[in-house]
Chains A and B, each alone.
Chain A
Amino acid sequence: MSGPVVEPAVVKGAKPITCPNCGGTVELRGFAHTRTAVCIQCLSVIDASSPELQILARFDEKMRTRPVLPLGSRGHFGDAAYEVIGFQVRTTWSDGLAYSWHEYLLFNPYAGFRYLTLYNGHWNFVGALAGVPSNTTQSGRKAAVSGGVTYRHYQHATATTTFVMGEFPWAVQAGEQVEFDDFIAPPRVLSREVSTGEINWSGGEYISGADVWKAFGLAGQPPRVDGISPNEPSPYPHKLRHIWSDFLILALVWLGVLLLFNFVSTGRQFLSDHVQMSPVEGAAAPATFTGAFDLKEAENGLTVEVKANDSDAPALQAAFVDRSSSRTIPLALVEQGSKSSGWRDLYRSGTLPPGSWSVRLEPEAQELKLSGSYGIKVRREAKGAGWIWFALIFLLIPPVVTTLKASSFESQRWSGSDYGGGS
């Protein structure tokens, strides 16, 4: 009689097996978990679970693919190290085009099995899912809920195993097909696989090639990233938050500038008066003065508006006159307008020193033939603030462009899905 039925505390590694087809040595890394192993020389799939080492299938040499993570290498994820023990290429066909991705089977004798998937330079770290997601719908599309998170349906497809290397805890079949559905909640993805009537759920999380390279301590560069992957986290929500909050700050500054500018540059009316000019028989037309207005500070570029309500009212010439010194400041005519019910002349002054000022009006003609009634206004125009509105539009460019880019990222994300072209 032997000793107690307690197994040794140290589990010995499995001995390598000899390929019954080519005699090559097949290393085993998965202890008693390994059910099938593939001969790296002749690509025979060997049943490693029984001593007979039956050959179950063979993969086509033409399909041979070189894994980018070497079998037997170990990578650190979280607190655990995982060894690459298996590698398979799976392919799905759509519109006559083949899309292939890599799946690396990772093993830790305590934490169990994980996968790293690689497609177009995009990686996912995948494990079996605890629990089973419940079905729901979101925005009229299928969705799945797991751990309180809703995942939106991305695609349904059939995957065929087109190449296999290493060892697996299940029976590998050449050309094995599974139907799968992917559901996404970036950076997470859920996959539902159905093969031979069994439903298996797995959950994955996006991981950058750089992080995979770091986990495995690999030299060189990971495969180049192409396009956007279904569950790749968008960089934009973060960027958008920043750029819109920056815009908000700048818009407040802009508003401050606008208010300050308006305060400094407000228009003001100094004078509004009416004068009447009538012909004097046989005499030259006299000059007429408006009432006076006082300037405490010098003003530059005042506008003088002379308006007649009768289109036949004689034309006038205007100038500023200092009431105390009789100093005259000429006015330049800048705009003349007329309509059926009258006309309007606009003048602009040079610099007016402080003082008490009137507008002197004289008829253009030597002799006044008709009388006229005129309204005279003197004002400082509000400075044109058009450029300040352009500044606001300018400030809006970065956040609007980023918002459009974010939306374009999401439509690219969904372009490869079953819903591409829609929404």
Chain B
Amino acid sequence: MTQRAAECPGCGAPLRFAWSSAVQTACPYCHSIIVRHDVDLERVGEAADLPPDASPIQIGTEGQFDSKSFWVVGRIRYAWAQGNWNEWHIAFNDGTNGWLADAQLTYAVSFLRPNEAPAVQPDALRAGQVFSFENHNYVLTTLTRASYVGFEGDLPFTTAGKQDMLFADLRTEDAHFATLDFSESQPVLYLGRELPYDELKLKNVRLFEGW
């Protein structure tokens, strides 16, 4: 894995990208939010400290999905009406990336499917609607209005300039999982699977006092 070294435009500290295609990262020293445009780095703001949470996952946690090893390179923390959840940005050895969602210790892994999202308007979405993706019928189960709480590590896109967003979660009878992300001008589709903690075979997880 190549690690591209650069200097933080905010404080000059060395920056190492854990994932070579990272678009956004946070300077671990000065908390600057840094966005990469080709080779140029731009400081677009300052990252807020993430409030304490109780996810067992952290940057550097390793795991497996469909017998392929991944490691955690970044995360976005979202807030919604009844709490928070994490989307952990995971990288695989072949350079591909995905997301490991951790919502109240229920886990799902999903991958961006470029250009596969249906042309639907968010206003037209209702729970119970059925969509077909890659030969599976997905039922729309939840519509979530969310906002960014913060991020850490490397991300494949920039969170700058976005605040409130809508996600539609869709599920199949056999634990396939899809998210329609309406934070861009066009909906973006992610497909994956819900799975129990054990199946992720996570290593380098956080420890919990008393456990």
Quick check: is A133 within 8 A (CB to CB) of the other chain?
yes
> Which of A37-45, A110-118, A293-301 has 4 or more CB atoms under 8 Å from chain B?
A110-118
Quick check: is A220 within 8 A (CB to CB) of the other chain?
no
Q: Which of A5, A109, A128, A133 contacts B106 (CB 8 A)?
A: A128
Q: In the complex, how many residues of chain B place their beta carbon closer than 8 angstroms to a beta carbon of chain A?
A: 47
Give the nearest-CB partner of A6 in chain B. B59
Interface of A is mostly: loop
* Contact A171/B82 with A109-B211, A131-B175, A198-B142 known, Cβ cut-off 8 Å: yes
The contact string, 1 if C-beta is below 8 Å from chain A, for chain B 150-177, is: 0010000000000000000001111111
Most chain B CB atoms below 10 A, which of A9, A130, A170: A130
The contact string, 1 if C-beta is below 8 Å from chain A, for chain B 35-75, is: 00000000000010111111010110000000000000000
Q: Is the CB of B104 within 8 A of A1?
A: no
**Nearest CB of B to A107, in Å:** 8
Q: Is the CB of A32 within 8 A of B106?
A: no
Q: Is the CB of B28 within 8 A of A3?
A: yes
Give the residues in chain B near A35, CB-CB below 8 Å: 83
Q: Which of A1, A109, A130, A198 contacts B196 (CB 8 A)?
A: A130
Q: Is the CB of A11 within 8 A of B139?
A: no
Q: Is the CB of A112 within 8 A of B210?
A: no
* Contact A112/B206 with A1-B29, A9-B58 known, Cβ cut-off 8 Å: no
Q: Which of A1, A6, A33, A134 contacts B105 (CB 8 A)?
A: A33
Give the residues in chain A near B196, CB-CB below 8 Å: 111, 130
The contact string, 1 if C-beta is below 8 Å from chain B, for chain A 24-62, is: 000000111101000000000000000000000000000
Give the residues in chain A near B59, CB-CB below 8 Å: 6
Give the residues in chain B near A1, CB-CB below 8 Å: 11, 29-31
Bound-state CA distance A5–B26 (Å) is: 8
Give the nearest-CB partner of B52 in chain A. A32
Q: Is the CB of A4 within 8 A of B205?
A: no
Quick check: is B198 within 8 A (CB to CB) of the other chain?
yes
Q: Which of A3, A7, A108 contacts B52 (CB 8 A)?
A: A7
Q: Is the CB of A199 within 8 A of B127?
A: yes
Give the nearest-CB partner of A12 in chain B. B209
User: How many A-B residue pairs lie within 8 Å, measured between CB atoms?
Assistant: 112
Quick check: is A140 within 8 A (CB to CB) of the other chain?
no
Give the residues in chain B near A33, CB-CB below 8 Å: 54, 104-105
Q: Which of B49, B52, B105, B171 contacts A111 (CB 8 A)?
A: B105
**Interface size bucket, A side?**
35 or more
Give the nearest-CB partner of A169 in chain B. B104
Q: Is the CB of B209 within 8 A of A11?
A: yes
Q: Is the CB of B209 within 8 A of A10?
A: yes
Give the residues in chain A near B50, CB-CB below 8 Å: 5, 7
Give the residues in chain A near B202, CB-CB below 8 Å: 110
**Nearest CB of B to A196, in Å:** 10
**Nearest CB of A to B96, in Å:** 23
Bound-state CA distance A284–B56 (Å) is: 123
Bound-state CA distance A135–B83 (Å) is: 30
Q: Which of A11, A32, A112, A147 contacts B173 (CB 8 A)?
A: A147
Give the residues in chain A near B56, CB-CB below 8 Å: 109-110
Quick check: is A282 within 8 A (CB to CB) of the other chain?
no
Interface of B is mostly: loop
Quick check: is B195 within 8 A (CB to CB) of the other chain?
yes
Q: Is the CB of A111 within 8 A of B31?
A: no
Quick check: is B133 within 8 A (CB to CB) of the other chain?
no
Bound-state CA distance A113–B106 (Å) is: 8
**Nearest CB of B to A109, in Å:** 4
Give the residues in chain A near B30, CB-CB below 8 Å: 1
* Contact A199/B173 with A1-B29, A1-B30, A109-B211 known, Cβ cut-off 8 Å: no
Q: Which of A3, A10, A79, A131 contacts B208 (CB 8 A)?
A: A10
The contact string, 1 if C-beta is below 8 Å from chain A, for chain B 10-24, is: 010000000000000
Q: Is the CB of B139 within 8 A of A112?
A: no
Tell me the chain A residues, 154-189 only, with Cβ under 8 Å from chain B.
169-171
Bound-state CA distance A311–B171 (Å) is: 94
The contact string, 1 if C-beta is below 8 Å from chain B, for chain A 189-216, is: 0000000001100000000000000000
Give the residues in chain A near B141, CB-CB below 8 Å: 132, 199
Give the nearest-CB partner of B195 in chain A. A130
Tell me the chain A residues, 113-159 only, with Cβ under 8 Å from chain B.
113, 128, 130-134, 145-148
Quick check: is A337 within 8 A (CB to CB) of the other chain?
no
Quick check: is A13 within 8 A (CB to CB) of the other chain?
yes
Q: Which of A9, A128, A199 contacts B206 (CB 8 A)?
A: A9
**Nearest CB of A to B43, in Å:** 14
Q: Is the CB of A10 within 8 A of B58?
A: no
Q: Is the CB of B105 within 8 A of A5?
A: no
Q: Is the CB of A133 within 8 A of B206?
A: no
* Contact A170/B175 with A7-B206, A10-B208, A111-B105 known, Cβ cut-off 8 Å: no
Bound-state CA distance A7–B30 (Å) is: 16
Q: Which of A112, A131, A132 contacts B104 (CB 8 A)?
A: A112
Give the nearest-CB partner of A197 in chain B. B127
**Nearest CB of B to A362, in Å:** 94
Give the residues in chain A near B1, CB-CB below 8 Å: none
Q: Which of A3, A12, A132, A148 contacts B171 (CB 8 A)?
A: A132
A sample of 9 inter-chain contacts (CB < 8 A) reads A5-B152, A7-B58, A32-B51, A33-B54, A79-B198, A109-B105, A111-B198, A112-B104, A113-B105
A-B pairs, top 9 by smallest CB distance, nearest first, are A112-B105, A4-B28, A31-B54, A130-B175, A131-B175, A32-B54, A130-B194, A132-B171, A109-B208
* Beyond A5-B49, A109-B54, A111-B105, 4 additional pairs, beta carbon < 8 A: A1-B31, A7-B53, A32-B53, A132-B172
